[in-house]
Chains A and B, each alone.
Chain A
């Protein structure tokens, strides 16, 4: 069983839709939760970072962590064609340990 499970999609939505991306994990020791965005033929870039449980909002993006269910989400409001990319969740046990990535969800926002 993979430590981090993520539905690879592809996910296709119309412009303006609310997008929900999710990951589940099995290692209860994970404490740091990240979302990276990767455009085609580019390296991933950090989008959101959350420590422990709770919500974090940044503009149109909201990251949510539910440690009791071992479930994290990324919500994108008013999605734009420029949001079309692969979204990778990532997790760490401690601040100095390795990142464990999900396999990424490919999102397309259609104009």
Chain B
């Protein structure tokens, strides 16, 4: 059983398009995160939700909008995609907000914008 899953694994799209990435965790965790990893492997947090409530919202263009329909799911919608959005996007979860040191990561979604 996959603990944290993401779909799709690969996404190739053109500039200006709108796309969504979905994440699901079956660990019963309360807190979920979105990270962006650039080509230099630098991993940077974008958003975090705790029990469907947004608790971390880093300086990210407002073209990026997270949505958490329930505590097991966290989706990321990106409008008007730009070349600089090309990266690997990771979803992660932790047992609770106070257990954020131990995060379980999904396999990543490799986004390429052409």
Contacts and interface: CB of A to CB of B under 8 A. Distances in A.
Contacts of B98: 95-96
Interface residues of A, number: 24
B100 A97 contact: yes
Contact of B105 (A34, A43, A86): A43
Interface of B: 4, 40-45, 48, 56, 58, 90, 92, 97-108
Nearest to A86: B41
A99 B99 CA distance: 11
A49 B40 contact: no
Nearest to A2: B42
27 contacts: A8-B40, A32-B101, A38-B41, A41-B107, A41-B108, A43-B4, A43-B92, A44-B103, A46-B101, A49-B101, A49-B102, A95-B99, A95-B100, A95-B101, A96-B97, A96-B98, A98-B45, A98-B48, A98-B56, A98-B58, A98-B100, A99-B45, A99-B100, A101-B42, A103-B42, A104-B43, A106-B41
